[in-house]
Structure 1
């Protein structure tokens, strides 16, 4: 089964300094039909005004991945990190038994990012932080593992039964990924156009897969895509 979720169907929050599109129920946006997919709980596409952001706040028992698309993000947390995140870099934070953090746009232009929450398979652990740059060449015409349970192939290490891949596809570039039909998969097209198992997606669209044994990506037009292999 493959279901398309158009970008326009997502929830939207306008906070002035923040424009956010929610793939799943979040904050004031509640849709019982979209509470998550497998152990994927949140994908928020955020546009943060220059020098604005989220003041210090807390999380517990969640794997949080930030995928930066443009601008620059300043991160501080209760673990002692004070870092900057640039486009092409990915941040993984395990909230564990509790962490406080803030995120502010450190750019004179709008900062554009995806914030992703995945439910962990362990609870109450010490919080952790990890950050890595993934070059476009690593993602060109293929699915590059950027977060996995064991940190395979240089990916970030999540405490979750999930694998997250990123790829760029254009023209004749194509790839396939074997899926376990008992699990779930989720495809989020960040930008461009792409065909997923023969179905056309545009930027912001998503494909939800269950009971499928194969994922096929082709017919890309400057497409940047994230693919999630998820616990059911």
Structure 2
């Protein structure tokens, strides 16, 4: 079958690799924001589609038979567009969403809805490890009464103000690595999106051990879709014909 995967995550690569190994014609679409991404097996498409009409047009022109949304839980508009495109074209959509983190006993989170709310929740003189990526970064950089340590995979295309420091690194991160980072910068607050998964979860245990306050930005709501949380469940939900 011809399958389009909206990708950019390790989970998307796993699904693509399994489907290609099964003999399906798979194309993975990447937003193109990350330099030198780890690429999946199969075909590749880079860049935006042009909203819902563009995605629908692509699905029809490429004769796509199944659509998999395996983007990041905070990918935003593309996940909303995938629901609308599936409804418009009648193409089966499966959303692969990694399970969210939940506080374990001993962890205390402040949960907010937006980056702006997270920035407003920071007290004066806080030493902040910011792990939310580029989206909403400006809200935190406005907090000149705090020290902001911005950890990203790709640096932003502008210089940070004097009260902010850039940490460019790529996950996965281990517990000892995260503990060392919190100690080195005397971090008092960790701001995170609830991305789920294991590659960056160690920061939450490190924060608990160090008494660092976690401010968690809740996941957005993307609308109804058949949602799964594992590769095997994604393959089953696609209802692929027997080989």
Whose strand proportion is higher, 1 or 2?
1
Q: Taking structure 1 as the reference length, what is the TM-score of the superposition?
A: 0.27
Whose helix proportion is higher, 1 or 2?
2
Q: Taking structure 2 as the reference length, what is the TM-score of the superposition?
A: 0.26
Larger gyration radius, structure 1 or structure 2: 2
